[in-house]
A and B are shown apart, each in its own frame.
Chain A
Amino acid sequence: MASFNARITMPAEAKAGEVVEVRVLVRHPMDRGGQVDAEGRVVPRKILNRLTVTYAGEPVFRYDMHTGVSANPFVSFTTRAIETGELSFEWREDGGATFTRTARLVVT
């Protein structure tokens, strides 16, 4: 995919100790393989198979995805606000491509 479109929704700031919800929506066909396209060719499997989230360098969430995850996958999780820092999101796609995005959380 030339362009990788991810929408990360979370509060920009939070009080220390507060639990914040992080919502992540990605545009991806999540081709599960074996389907036949309009030209009669078999589409190979190509899905995002993992999303790893680190917060100020510490891993806080991981989402292992298989073929049973919908196209344009959405996920929501929570994390405790501890310090001001970057949440870093890394997706891994079948074939080895990775995509990363970051979001900043200010802790007051």
Chain B
Amino acid sequence: MSSPISPACVHPEPALSRREVMAVGAAGLALGALPAPARAAAPPALAELVARITEGAVPERGRITFDIPQLVENGNSVDVAIQVESPMTDADHVRWIHIIAEKNPFPDVARFHLGPRSGRAEIRATLRLATSQKVAAIAALSGGGYVIADADIVVTLSACIDGG
């Protein structure tokens, strides 16, 4: 059983070694010329992540309620509840609900597949949030449209203790 808080998270890119920093400094390079791992690893924006799962369609706002605490003390377990207004009939229902956390190491968090037999489009779950960020819930409707709700979340104890 792993401990709830990881002792360390592996960085995808190693930081510059002291020797490299010294060498760069000695060469008198401007700050802007530093190979910046942070800059190279800029995460894709939320809009891009959303477009990928909706196949380019821009989801509408409304009809979906995303319940998530604004301030999270422990990113290791965050309770969320999502409701979509839908009659959940054969003709008009929610096909799936997808959750995206843009700054998680793996932004696609979860997907819930529903159908007419669900009765209501209502789910609850527990997530992990790596850091303070925007979290979005997108629902795919049987008619082909999408609806979205998002929330800015502040995480005081991140799921990955060093923010990686």
A and B: real partners?
yes
Enumerate chain A interface residues (CB-CB to B < 8 A).
19-21, 23, 29, 31-32, 34-38, 42-43, 55, 58-80, 82
**What are 26 A-B interface contacts by the 8 Å CB criterion?**
A34-B10, A35-B10, A36-B6, A36-B10, A37-B2, A42-B10, A43-B2, A55-B117, A58-B117, A60-B115, A63-B110, A64-B110, A64-B111, A66-B108, A68-B127, A69-B109, A74-B79, A74-B124, A76-B122, A76-B123, A77-B118, A77-B123, A78-B119, A78-B122, A79-B119, A80-B118
Tell me, rounded to whole Å, the shortest Cβ–Cβ distance linking B125 to chain A.
5
Given contacts A34-B9, A43-B2, A64-B110, whether A73 and B126 have CB atoms under 8 Å apart is yes
Are B2 and A82 closer than 8 Å at their CB atoms?
no
Q: Give the complex CA separation of A73 and B125 in angstroms.
A: 7
Q: B87-136: which residues lie under 8 A (CB-CB) from chain A?
A: 99, 101, 104-115, 117-120, 122-129
B interface size (C-beta, 8 A): 38
Question: Taking A73-B125, A77-B122 as contacts, is the C-beta distance between A68 and B114 under 8 angstroms?
Answer: no
Neighbour of A68 across the interface among B101, B118, B123, CB < 8 A: B101
The reply on B35 being an interface residue by CB < 8 A is no
Q: Within 8 Å of chain A (Cβ to Cβ): is B65?
A: no
Q: Which of B8, B76, B115 is close to A36, meaning CB atoms less than 8 Å apart?
A: B8
Closest A residue by C-beta to B119: A19
Instruction: Say yes or no: A75-B123 contact (C-beta < 8 A), given A34-B9, A60-B115, A67-B128.
Output: yes
Closest Cβ of chain A to B129, distance in Å, is 8
Question: What residues of chain A lie closer than 8 Å to B129, measured between beta carbons?
Answer: 68
Closest to B109 in A: A68
Whether A62 and B7, one on each chain, are in contact in the complex, defined by CB atoms closer than 8 angstroms, is no
Chain A residues lying within 8 Å of B106, measured Cβ to Cβ, are 32, 66-68
A24 to chain B, nearest CB (A): 10
- Which 5 A-B residue pairings sit nearest by Cβ, starting from the closest? A19-B119, A68-B109, A80-B119, A62-B113, A35-B6
A68 touches B108 (CB 8 A): yes
Instruction: Decide if B47 is an interface residue (CB 8 Å cutoff).
Output: no
